[in-house]
Chains A and B, each alone.
Chain A
Amino acid sequence: MSASHSTAHAADTSKLSPQFHVAHHFDSADEQFDSAKLGVWLFLVTEILLFGGLFCAFAVFRSWHLEAFVSAHHHLDKVMGGINTVVLICSSLTMALGVRACQTNNQKQATAFLIATLLFAGAFLVIKYFEYSHKFHDGLLPGRYFTYAGAKYPDEKIFFGIYFMMTGIHGFHVVCGMVLIGWVLLRNMKGHFSSRYYVPVECVGLYWHLVDLVWIYLFPLLYLVG
């Protein structure tokens, strides 16, 4: 998909993405496109390693405090978590369709799909907000702020330390993703993208899929397995 798009529509490229030009240090648009994609993939590697550290911490503490973790994870709301999983999977779908729409020069459709993605992301955060406020209310908080009276094991506070770190950092990534999607949405509405040039949408899409993927691991680990 990367190599052929610029020649496939050679006839009408002049009208598409009029602002686009190849930077002086690249030989061709393809080379520039491949470089950008490689760059984003490398960035995603760093993201995976960032979350990898947290997953390691989770694994270590779970093996040390198994009973406490199992007991603590019952406080998480599986229904809300499940709905959020579905919401994010839908957002990944609309993101992919948005990229597709850009590739096929369908600007209006792309705008619609990107807005839908933004709405799903917003819905995710709203649901997360209700989950968090419930935890705050019950005193199910990390470390020294853990005040929940009904805890069976003292180490449940470690579970919530890790829960808030993992979902908090993931939530931060969702917010960053929304900013980026908003940015490509605006550029799309200005007509910057077309089959000739859609690198930013593609790259933001890759990033957004990773954010979803992280949640797809977080949900079963935290909510279902504990």
Chain B
Amino acid sequence: MAETAASHAHAPAHAEGTNYLNAQKGLMSWLTTVDHKRIGVMYLISTLVAFGLGGTFALLVRLELLGPKKDFLTADQYNQAFTLHGAIMVFLFIIPAVPGALANFVLPIMIGAKDVAFPKLNLASLYVYWAGAIICLSAVLTGGIDTGWTFYTPYSTVTSTSVISMTFGVFVLGFSSIFTGLNFIVTLHKLRVPGMSWFNMPLFLWATYATSVIQIMATPVLAITLVLLIAERAFGLGIFDPTLGGDPVLFQHFFWFYSHPAVYIMILPGMGIVSELIAVHARRRVFGYHAIAYSSIALALLGFLVWGHHMFVAGQSELAGVIFSFLTFFVAIPSGVKVFNWLATLWGGSIAFTTPMFYALSFLFLFTIGGLTGVFLGILSVDIHLHDTYFVVAHFHYVMMGGTVMAFLGGLYHWWPKITGRLYNDGLGKLACIIIFVGFNMTFFTQFILGSRGMPRRYYNYLDQYQPLHAFSTYGSWVLGAGFLLSLFVLMTSLRSGAKAPANPWGGASLEWHTQSPPVTENFPGTVEVKHGPYDFNAEGTK
């Protein structure tokens, strides 16, 4: 497919060695750019900073939980630490990271376009992200925030901490998310080059499309919920306040109507990346392309129908609980189908043990555990016991971190040569992946055991009997932290001393591997022709 004819490769308009990174120089050229690649890079840096910050709070939380009573933090500091960990990781890292950074960079290239449909809106989304982040973090300086990232009423309306800063920040961040999603949908509809039919697109784009649909449809509901919460605190509106005739459980309905689909905003792009990693690094045509593509859309739509499974014991009606449980099981099917298709894609492939493949295999291992433990929580009766215990904490970390973060890192290592034009040390990259994998399981598998034994979440003090497992989990968090630092070190050193990356280091077949690394500002020097599908590795010109 996907080759730009050889005669265009050195089009006279571009001097040798010109690319999007060095086409213009200076800070202002970055801050005023409308190039999706530069915006993607700035998103990448911003979300990685957020990840570091959220991770620091996670380490503080784990450190405090080393012993059953007070160790380092006061109860109040601990409550603020886990709130900030959750809010930063969810709103500042995991929701924007893959769409804002990786999809922003590769999506237009993968469909042969020069940019996204609305480049200025794309830049605006980054500025709105920065503004939202600053407003969120201003909460730390103006009294902190101790509600948990879910802002449940009525606690969030009575606590003396600065809930308004944080929720207003999240409200602003919602616009950033909507702008990105809207941009991607229009781009995918209107800017595909001739020959790039919907079913000729890499699967990552199907996942991104599904994600964008959720961003458009769910985020506004969160926005209005947060506006109501702010009005509640500022003006005593009463909609969620039982003393004024309101209902606190209504807040949970509103909140999860966004936040459950938001779970798919977080995991779908990860699933999309893994489809790419497995296909490219096993050089194998994807098994069940249509099934994987449709399952992404199915997940996006089903995700809107299951919010009530967060509230089985919250005082909603039994009938609602039963219906939500039934629907919840149908979310398991598309996820399962994806896993089986990825396995079948490994079958008969030519599996290279590269760093991205290590992350993809880690993803399969951890996501399988995350998915299967989700089934426990979907079973109504079992959820009564497990709800709001560490079992839930472990489950969503296996999905969000074992799933999305592993996929994000895999994608980062996969496209790093394309983004930076540098190759990294593959051996050290794999070592970092192994350390992260071990540390992750140490930290979070213990939490399944804690939870099933009855340890409630968000506890500062806990019963002595849980201490050994908590301590083990804390040691694991140190291993995990070390793994991330090593991983970062591998990438950073590649910038200084890495070898120059060729256009197609992995033998990929989708369009982004058919332009130079790093690409020129307009992505392709000449016109783009799609000659074969994104996974035709045996076709001419991909070897």
Contact = CB atoms under 8 A, between A and B. Distances in A.
In the complex, A touching B (Cβ < 8 A) = yes
Contacts of B224: 50-51, 53-54, 169
A133 interface: no
Given A46-B219, A57-B239, A142-B238, A65 B245 contact: yes
B332 to A, nearest CB: 27
Give the one of B116, B231, B235, B238 with max A CB within 10 A. Answer: B238
B189 A157 contact: no
Contacts of A65: 245
B73 to A, nearest CB: 35
Contacts of B247: 60, 64
Nearest to B246: A158
A25 B216 contact: no
A88 to B, nearest CB: 21
Given A50-B221, A142-B238, A38 B190 contact: yes
Nearest to B243: A144
A143 B235 contact: yes
Nearest to B174: A46
A82 interface: no
The interface size bin for chain A is 35 or more
Interface residues of B, number: 44
B298 interface: no
B231 A165 contact: yes
B136 interface: no
A211 to B, nearest CB: 15
Contact of A53 (B216, B245, B254): B254
Interface in B99-128: 108, 113-119, 121
Dominant SS at the B interface?
helix
B227 interface: yes
Contacts of A161: 237-239, 244, 246
A83 interface: no
B529 interface: no
Contacts of B218: 49
B217 A39 contact: no
B236 A35 contact: no
Give the one of B115, B191, B220, B223 with max A CB within 10 A. Answer: B220
Contacts of A26: 191
Contacts of B235: 142-143, 145
Interface string A35-62: 1001100110111011111101100110
A154 B245 contact: yes
B388 interface: no
A44 B31 CA distance: 29
A42 B185 CA distance: 9
Nearest to B187: A35
A162 interface: yes
Interface in A55-93: 56-57, 60-61, 64-65, 68
Interface in B53-89: none
Nearest to A23: B119
A152 to B, nearest CB: 14
A131 interface: no
A34 B187 CA distance: 11
A220 B171 CA distance: 29
B321 to A, nearest CB: 18
A43 B244 contact: no
A144 B190 contact: no
A24 B522 contact: yes
A144 B236 contact: yes
B469 interface: no
A34 B250 contact: no
Contact of B191 (A25, A50, A51, A142): A25
Give the one of A39, A162, A169 with max B CB within 10 A. Answer: A39
A43 B219 CA distance: 12
Given A39-B118, A53-B224, A165-B237, A144 B216 contact: no
B182 interface: yes
B262 to A, nearest CB: 14
Interface in A1-53: 23-26, 31, 34-35, 38-39, 42-43, 45-47, 49-53
A154 B228 CA distance: 20
Given A46-B178, A165-B237, A57 B228 contact: yes
Contacts of A25: 108, 113-117, 119, 191
Given A143-B235, A145-B236, A161-B237, A53 B221 contact: yes
Contacts of B236: 142-145
B185 A143 contact: no
6 contacts: A42-B186, A46-B216, A53-B224, A161-B239, A165-B231, A169-B224
Instruction: Pick the 3 closest A-B CB pairs, nearest first.
Output: A143-B238, A144-B236, A53-B224
